[in-house]
C-alpha cells in the first residue's frame, strides 16, 4: 500500500438510510473503496449490520462495521430497524428513530475524524455537523439521475416547498425545469401517494424533499448510481440545478455468486433445469414492497392465465402481518400450477436465477437494483411499479422499449386485473413484440454488464475522493 502524501490511505465513513435497497449499494461501494486500499467505516444499526453479507476475507481488515443503537419509537416494534421491518405507512416513524442517531454519529465523527462522510438522503442534519468538523461531505444517491432531477428545481425550493408544485396533479407531467423532452412523470394513482409520503411533512417533523434539499445544499458533491452511457442528459441537469459537482459511480452491478452447495440454490436450479429455455417468468417485487391481498390475487391468477412457467420469489415482509397485506394465495392456485410454477417464500439468489438460461423475462417492481440486475443480463421486463421512484423508472424503461408496464385503471386507484397481467407477460416473453424487447434489453446489457466500464467509473470516483482530500491536505477548501 502506498504511504506517500500523493496516495495516502483515506478513511471514508459510509452512512446509508435504513433500507436494504440503500444499504446494499452503499456496502458494495464500500468494498470498492477498500479494494483500493482505503479504510472504510460502514455505519448502521446493530440489526442491519448483522444482516449484511459476509465480507470477503481480503477486505474485512479494511472495513469496520460500526453498530449504532437505534432509539426506540413507541409506534414501532423494538426490532424494527429497516424499512423491511415496517409497513409503508409507518416508515416516517423509522425516520423519527433515524434522526435520533444524530448524537452517536456526531460522537463518531469527533472521535474518528474521517476524511470523508458519505451519506444518504435522510440525515438532513449531518452535513452541517461534518462541515463544522472539517470533514468532506458527499451525498450518495442510489436513486437514478432522472429521479433526483424530478424532485426539485433547487435545494432552496425543496427546503421551502417553493417549486410551484402544490397538488398531486402537478406531478402528472415532467417538471418545467426539464430543458429537453421527457416522459418522466407519475401516473395518477402514484402521484397522490408520492405527494402524501414524500412532499408533505410527516411524523418525523420534516418532508423527504426537505431532507434531500438540506443534504444537497450542505454537501461538497453528489455521488450517484448512474452512468453517462445510459440517459446522460439528466446528469448535467442535476449539476446545473443544484450547483454541485456530480460524480457518477457507475451502476454497481452485483458480483455475488451462489454457492453450488447451497441447498436453496441446488433446489431452485434443479427446477429451472427442467424448464424450457427462455420461457420462465421470474417474478420478484422486492423484499420491502407489500401489495394488497386483492393485487396479490390478481397477480397470481394472471400468472396462471398466461400459461407460462414461472418462478415467484414471494417473500413476506416482516411488516405484512395484517389481513389486507397477507400473502395468502388464491384457493387452489398452488395445486393448479404445480406442474409449471414454483412459489418460493424465503430468500433466493436472484442474480443466479436471472443468469439461468430458462428465464425469459422478469416481472419486477422496477427498483433500480433489480433493473440493473435484469439489464446486465439482457432480460426484458414486465413492469409493475408500486412505490417511490419505481414509477419514474418504469416510464424511462418503457420509452427504451425493453418491456411494458402492466396496464392499470386510474379510475379506481390503479388496480390491475389478471387479464392485464397475463397479456403483459405473454407479450414480453412469447409474442412477436417480445423479440424487440429482448433485442433492446440485450443491447443495453452492453452497458449494464460492462465490467471495464464499471471499473472506469469506480476508479474515477476513488480518484475524486483522493484528489479532493489531497486538496484539503494542501490547505484548500473541500
Count of residues in the chain: 478
Q: Which of the residues 11, 22, 325, 379 is marked catalytic?
A: 22
Taking Cα atoms as reference points, which of 130, 140, 44, 131 lies closest to residue 94? 44
Quick check: 6 and 474 in contact, CB under 8 A?
A: no
Q: Report CA dihedral (241, 243, 249, 252) to the nearest 10 degrees.
A: -40
**412523470: which residue's cell?**
185
Report d(CA 137, CA 145) in Å as an integer: 19
Taking Cα atoms as reference points, which of 56, 75, 148 lies closest to residue 319? 75
Report d(CA 30, CA 35) in Å as an integer: 9
Taking only Cα atoms into account, the Rg of the chain, rounded to an integer number of angstroms, comes to 22
Report d(CA 113, CA 220) in Å as an integer: 17
Active-site annotation holds for 189: no
Quick check: 160 and 214 in contact, CB under 8 A?
A: no
Report d(CA 351, CA 360) in Å as an integer: 14
Beta bridge partners of 66: 43
Report d(CA 121, CA 99) in Å as an integer: 12
Active-site annotation holds for 120: yes
Q: Which of the residues 120, 157, 220, 389 is marked catalytic?
A: 120
DSSP count for the chain of H helices, then E strands:
19, 13
Active site residues: 22, 120
Amino acid at each position: 500500500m502506498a504511504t506517500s502524501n500523493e496516495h495516502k490511505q483515506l478513511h471514508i465513513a459510509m452512512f446509508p438510510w435504513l433500507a436494504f435497497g440503500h444499504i446494499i449499494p452503499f456496502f458494495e461501494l464500500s468494498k470498492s473503496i477498500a479494494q483500493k486500499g482505503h479504510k472504510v467505516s460502514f455505519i448502521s444499526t446493530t440489526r442491519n449490520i448483522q444482516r449484511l453479507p459476509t465480507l470477503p476475507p481480503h477486505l474485512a481488515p479494511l472495513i469496520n462495521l460500526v453498530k449504532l443503537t437505534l432509539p426506540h419509537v413507541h409506534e414501532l416494534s423494538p426490532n424494527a430497524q429497516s424499512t423491511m421491518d415496517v409497513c409503508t405507512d409507518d416508515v416516517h416513524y423509522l425516520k423519527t428513530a433515524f434522526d435520533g442517531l444524530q448524537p452517536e454519529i456526531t460522537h463518531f465523527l469527533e472521535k474518528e475524524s474521517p476524511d470523508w462522510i458519505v451519506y444518504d438522503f435522510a440525515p438532513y442534519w449531518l452535513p452541517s455537523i461534518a462541515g463544522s468538523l472539517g470533514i468532506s461531505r458527499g451525498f450518495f444517491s442510489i436513486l437514478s439521475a432522472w429521479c433526483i432531477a424530478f424532485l426539485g428545481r433547487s435545494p432552496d425550493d425543496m427546503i421551502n416547498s417553493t417549486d410551484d408544485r402544490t397538488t398531486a396533479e402537478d406531478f402528472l407531467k415532467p417538471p418545467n425545469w426539464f430543458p429537453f423532452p421527457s416522459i418522466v412523470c407519475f401516473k395518477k394513482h402514484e402521484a397522490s401517494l408520492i405527494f402524501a409520503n414524500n412532499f408533505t411533512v410527516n411524523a418525523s417533523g420534516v418532508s423527504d424533499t426537505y431532507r434531500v434539499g438540506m443534504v444537497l445544499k450542505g454537501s461538497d458533491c453528489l455521488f450517484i448510481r448512474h452512468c453517462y452511457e445510459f440517459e446522460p442528459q439528466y446528469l448535467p441537469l442535476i449539476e446545473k440545478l443544484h450547483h454541485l459537482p456530480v460524480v457518477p459511480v457507475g451502476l454497481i452491478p452485483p458480483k455475488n455468486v451462489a454457492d453450488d452447495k447451497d441447498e436453496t440454490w441446488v433446489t431452485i436450479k434443479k427446477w429451472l433445469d427442467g424448464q424450457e429455455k427462455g420461457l420462465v417468468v421470474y417474478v420478484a417485487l422486492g423484499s420491502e414492497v407489500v401489495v394488497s391481498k386483492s393485487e396479490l390475487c390478481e397477480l397470481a391468477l394472471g400468472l396462471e392465465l398466461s400459461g407460462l412457467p414461472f418462478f415467484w420469489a414471494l417473500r413476506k415482509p416482516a411488516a405484512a402481518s395484517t389481513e389486507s397485506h397477507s400473502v395468502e394465495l388464491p384457493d387452489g392456485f398452488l395445486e393448479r400450477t404445480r406442474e409449471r410454477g414454483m412459489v418460493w417464500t424465503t430468500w433466493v439468489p436472484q442474480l443466479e436465477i436471472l443468469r439461468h438460461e430458462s428465464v425469459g423475462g422478469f416481472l419486477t417492481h422496477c427498483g433500480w437494483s433489480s433493473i440493473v440486475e435484469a439489464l446486465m443480463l439482457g432480460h426484458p421486463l414486465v413492469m409493475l411499479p408500486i412505490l417511490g421512484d419505481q414509477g419514474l423508472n418504469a416510464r424511462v424503461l418503457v420509452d427504451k422499449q425493453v418491456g411494458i408496464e402492466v396496464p392499470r385503471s386510474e379510475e379506481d386507484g390503479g388496480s390491475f386485473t389478471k387479464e392485464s397481467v397475463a397479456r403483459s407477460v405473454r407479450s414480453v416473453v412469447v409474442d412477436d413484440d417480445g423479440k424487440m424487447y429482448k433485442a433492446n434489453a440485450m443491447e443495453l446489457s452492453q452497458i449494464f454488464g460492462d465490467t471495464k466500464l464499471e471499473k472506469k467509473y469506480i476508479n474515477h470516483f476513488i480518484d475524486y475522493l483522493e484528489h479532493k482530500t489531497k486538496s484539503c491536505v494542501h490547505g484548500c477548501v473541500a
